[in-house]
Amino acid sequence: MYRSILYLLVAALPAAVFAAPTQNCCQLVDSNIPGRISYPGSTTYNSSIASYYGDTERELSPSCIYRPTTTSEVQQFVQLVTTGNCTNNQFAVRGGGHTYWSGAANIQPGITVDMRVMNSLQSSTDQKIAGVGGGALWDQIYPQLVPYNLTIMGGRIPGIGVGGFATGGGITFASREHGFSCDNIVGYEIVLANGTVAYASASSDPDLWLALKGGSNNFGIITRFDIGTISQGKMSYNLVTYDYTNASLQAQANAFSNFMNPQNFDKSAMMGVFLDYFGGQLSLSDALWYIQPVQKPAVYNSFFNISSANVSVSQLDTIDKVVEKFGEDIPASVDRGFQLTFSFSNPDAATYYQLFKIWEDAMPKLANVTGMFVEFLIQPQPVTNGTNLFGLQAGKTDDVMVDMTSAYTNKADDALVAQVLTDLVNQQKQLLQNGGYLIDFIYLNYADISQQVLQSWGSSNVAKLQAASKKYDPSGVFQTQVPGGFKIPM
């Protein structure tokens, strides 16, 4: 209870309270760890800010940016900012910087820790474990493993950071065989709130190891992820577009419902159904991935055979090249954005069709929003092995996840976009609830800060997060001094 009250008090303090101590802390870190601090106006500072995916993070101006290069420098930083007057200073930790909402991985005032220099890859002698730096981007790592016909469970587009992705779960091409990215992490090197370095694994601090599998930034700064490698040669990627008609939507609903039927489960097949709205136009497409070297897998025949199907991309290549190709259709950055997510068990085709039409009927409400883009993505949920705190049934193959995401130009439209998308998502969830399909789980990496993510994993798992926080961060540094992210309900 004390920590809950403390968090509320700190969160309520005006920014001015932190401004002067933050500047002093920037100078303190700079004097103790020379060459790692950059200030507003410098090339390094400006480049770091410009690299955030969305304007909601780019518009924040931290008092300074700290770019560590070693675990020791992360350790020194934590020791400095958690003692003396610096305890009134707040800080943020960033990797790829892809989260939409403001303050997720940036701060104003305060110090932003930009981890991206720590991007090394060190494989074990037997190549079964890849030790990946806490600030690496997945597309930096993939090409280094390709020559060995190996990969790890990472992002599907360029620019995604290992840190946020893996600590929030992580969905990728092989997720129907190997689960979430975090299910495959065997160990974490982490700097704790007291400035010590710990190594969390199934045999060393196993409660912390489990808490980090979805627990986001609540326990420390992770400086290395030890990830189990998987064999991976060439894989296929087919992008199929369709005429946006009721007939195509019905065919898509039939095909996807059948695809998700456990009797048709293929662990090598991962896909996404994309309904897009842009420039006042509606479009429909499928991204069909297969982690075996099969150009057009039979499991996707019902999609290839839809009457208006047009295969615009048909690629058989290594994972790094597939990520590069798929990323060509994803903007490198956006202005404004809003995103929501929910999950459900596979329903009948009629329910999918209703979900499509609820989305379609809402789009005219956004017709006057400049630069409006809305994407309604339906995809299989990872088949987890249960080594996380998500509260999901291990081995379940017929759960589905939605990513409702948007991008647009002007901040003045924030409230309208959020309201329209929230209303349509609530309508979709009510439909699924009425049919008995909706599940509680909310996926952290697709969620807006307004969603009750950690609570959706169940009270027993929240209790494990709380216990780990009290054990490894008894003063609540990563609950109060690091205000961004989904904080543990105390």
Residue 16 has pLDDT above 80, yes or no: no
At 188-209, the pLDDT tens digits run: 999 999 999 999 999 999 999 9
Residue 264 has pLDDT above 60, yes or no: yes
Q: What is the mean pLDDT of residues 319-332?
A: 96
Per-residue pLDDT, 5: 40
Per-residue pLDDT, 21: 64
Q: What is the mean pLDDT of residues 89-105?
A: 96
Distance CA 268, CA 470 (A): 40
Residue 234 has pLDDT above 60, yes or no: yes
At 281-321, the pLDDT tens digits run: 999 999 999 999 999 999 999 999 999 999 999 999 999 99
pLDDT band at 22 (very low <50, low <70, confident <90, very high): confident
**Are 323 and 289 spatial neighbours (Cβ–Cβ below 8 Å)?**
no
Residue 19 has pLDDT above 90, yes or no: no
> Tell me, what DSSP letter sits at residue 418?
H
What residues have CB less than 8 Å from 279, skipping those under 6 apart?
A: none
**Are 351 and 72 spatial neighbours (Cβ–Cβ below 8 Å)?**
no
**In percent, how much of the chain has pLDDT > 70?**
96
Least confident of 14-23, 72-81, 350-359: 14-23
- Nearest Cα neighbor of 435 from 354, 356, 378, 380 is 354
CA atoms within 13 A on the CB side of 237: 21
Distance CA 443, CA 457 (A): 9
CA distances from 86 to 27, 29, 191, 262 (A): 11, 10, 18, 54
pLDDT band at 23 (very low <50, low <70, confident <90, very high): confident
The burial of 310, by beta-carbon neighbours within 10 Å (0-12 exposed, 13-18 middle, 19 or more buried), is given as: exposed
At 27-62, the pLDDT tens digits run: 999 999 999 999 999 999 999 999 999 999 999 999
Per-residue pLDDT, 343: 99
At 126-180, the pLDDT tens digits run: 999 999 999 999 999 999 999 999 999 999 999 999 999 999 999 999 999 999 9
Distance CA 275, CA 232 (A): 30
Residue 78 has pLDDT above 90, yes or no: yes
**DSSP per-residue codes, 76-122:** HHHHHHTSGGGGG--EEEESS----STTSS--SSSEEEE-TT---EE
Tokens representing 378 are 């339906």
Mean pLDDT of the chain: 95
Per-residue pLDDT, 463: 98
Residue 366 has pLDDT above 60, yes or no: yes
**Are 67 and 134 spatial neighbours (Cβ–Cβ below 8 Å)?**
no
**Are 87 and 79 spatial neighbours (Cβ–Cβ below 8 Å)?**
no
